[in-house]
Amino acid sequence: MTEPFSISFIIPYYELGKDLLLRAIGSVLDLRLECDWELIVVDDGSKRFPARRWVEACGDCRIRYVWKENGGLGPARNTGAELATKSYIQFLDADDYLLADGFRQAATLTEKERPDILYYRYKMTYGTGKESVQAEKQTFVERFSSGAEYMATRNLRGSSTQMLVRRHLVQTTPFVNIYFEDEHFSPRLLLIAGTVIDTNFYGYAYYQRPGSIINSTIDEQKAIKRFGDMRFIIRSMMELCAQQQGIAHQALKRRIDQLTLAAVYRALQEAPTRKMLDDELQQLRAMGCYPLAKANYSPRYRLFRLLTNRSWKITIMRLLLRKR
């Protein structure tokens, strides 16, 4: 018997403040979904803000608050996934919010076709209010027989927040507590996923908040940690790739090359010194993934490969990227 369609919304939270958290919660309420749903706010050890009181003041039995010792975004998401009871999971960061029209389109299609994963798109936002994004016509819906087929033929949307995904897949693919945890999570998830649907629905508002993990200033110690975590992800994918055959091997090889591109780009932009940049490129070279592999994934990939395969080109690219 097919499990009824339902959604667990999971919001990891850490000392963010009232307005943004209530905006995220309110965006779920604004969906006015007819299906069964629940919302779990996982407080990752906040001490400064009374988030429990704010959540309980919503007065909705479908919304619950859970406090855990501080452990990072990945473990907070894992806690939410373990507590989830519905058939699908939707992760929502506490400083972001859902766009009602696009998300309802995504939910309706998911309920109808029951894929393992349905991807949709995000819109960057810059204010603390809510933007209204009118739903677009259904001009882009693409279906894949497996997550491996999707990953082998498309550039992966790394974020775990832009998907509706079956609960059991998330519960068997936990996050690790590193920078770029989504880049470690998503390929592993896709490797075990069956049907995947990719759409152009805009269902998620990604808030570009000053001081967030993505937008914070990068000092030397933080750069070392970020570069090391990215290499950890690439190594993990290489080890996994060595165990696969056929389309799964092809999918992970493509993902490794794309992750290496991201690692080189990040090093060019964020390395505080030229020595640190050279050291990072040397470590990628020792892993066997730099210079970038010759492949025809996309015009962007081909161009970036050509622009970073010589030392003098690296010098020029570093100057250009650090001026941005």
pLDDT tens digits, one per residue of 294-320: 999 999 999 999 999 999 999 999 999
Residue 142 to residue 112: CA distance in whole angstroms: 15
State percent of the chain over pLDDT 70: 94
Q: What is the mean pLDDT of residues 189-194?
A: 97
State percent of the chain over pLDDT 90: 86
Burial of 2 (0-12, 13-18, 19+ CB in 10 A): exposed
Q: Are residues 152 and 231 in contact, defined by beta-carbon separation less than 8 angstroms?
A: no
Is the pLDDT reported for residue 1 higher than 90?
no
| Top-confidence residue, 323 or 197 | 197
How many C-beta atoms lie closer than 10 Å to residue 319's C-beta?
10
Residue 209: the pLDDT is: 74
Residue 217: the pLDDT is: 60
Residue 178: the pLDDT is: 95
288: left (phi over 0), alpha (psi -120 to 50) or beta: left
Residue 323: the pLDDT is: 62
For 262-299, what is each residue's pLDDT tens digit? Answer: 999 999 999 999 999 999 999 999 999 999 999 999 99
Residue 105: the pLDDT is: 94
Confidence of residue 188 (pLDDT cuts 50, 70, 90): very high
E strand segments, the chain: 6-13, 36-43, 63-67, 88-91, 97-98, 117-125, 141-144, 163-166, 196-207
Peptide bond preceding 291 in cis form (omega within 30 of 0): yes
Q: Does an H or E element contain 161, and which?
A: none
Query: Across-strand partners of 204?
Result: 98, 122
Residue 68 to residue 35: CA distance in whole angstroms: 29
Residue 114 to residue 87: CA distance in whole angstroms: 10
SS3 117: strand
Q: Are residues 15 and 48 in contact, defined by beta-carbon separation less than 8 angstroms?
A: yes
Residue 287 to residue 143: CA distance in whole angstroms: 34
Is the pLDDT reported for residue 138 higher than 60?
no
Residue that has been written with the tokens 């010759």 in this structure:
294
pTM, rounded to two decimals: 0.93
| Top-confidence residue, 61 or 216 | 61
